[in-house]
Structure 1
């Protein structure tokens, strides 16, 4: 009886943790630039939080500005 309860508890815990493990990473495709001299960049970056262009724009603008780049456009976001 105790073994059945333990097995059932283990199966329940595993079933509840599967959605968290299956959560996909969000990837944003973007264009950026650097002035003097002009450099254009195209890249892909992983973002956290909601997989939306708005969220990607916010995160990427902060990350890129620290590298001396200006975000021009987020082309797309997708869950991988």
Structure 2
């Protein structure tokens, strides 16, 4: 019984992990949207080189599609 409960708990926790949990590089950033003003803080996976420059380029393009503006990349870290 104990083994079954452990298996169920493990399966449930795996299903609740964020999509980026296995990502190699994560960028932490701030962004905004105007009218109405919305401030955004998020962490997202980055493809390619794990550098601030690469993160800025990817985030600017991705956020522009959503009507948002990148304010600052706070950190880039290898996971």
Instruction: Report if TM-score (shorter chain) is over 0.5.
Output: yes
Q: Which residue is equivalent to 2:78?
A: 79
Alignment of 1:41 onto 2:26: no
Q: What secondary structure does 2:36 align onto?
A: coil
- Alignment RMSD, CA only? 0.9
Q: Give the C-alpha shift of residue 56 in structure 1.
A: 0.1
Structure 1 segments (4+ residues) deviating >4 Å: none
Q: Give the C-alpha shift of residue 72 in structure 1.
A: 0.3
Gaps of 5+ in 1: 1-23
Q: Give the C-alpha shift of residue 65 in structure 1.
A: 0.5
Q: Distance in 2 between matches of 1:26 and 1:77?
A: 7
Count of equivalent residues: 57
Q: Give the C-alpha shift of residue 53 in structure 1.
A: 0.4
Alignment of 1:61 onto 2:60: yes
Structure 1 length-normalised TM: 0.69
Q: Which structure has the larger Rg over C-alpha atoms?
A: 1
Q: What secondary structure does 1:77 align onto?
A: strand
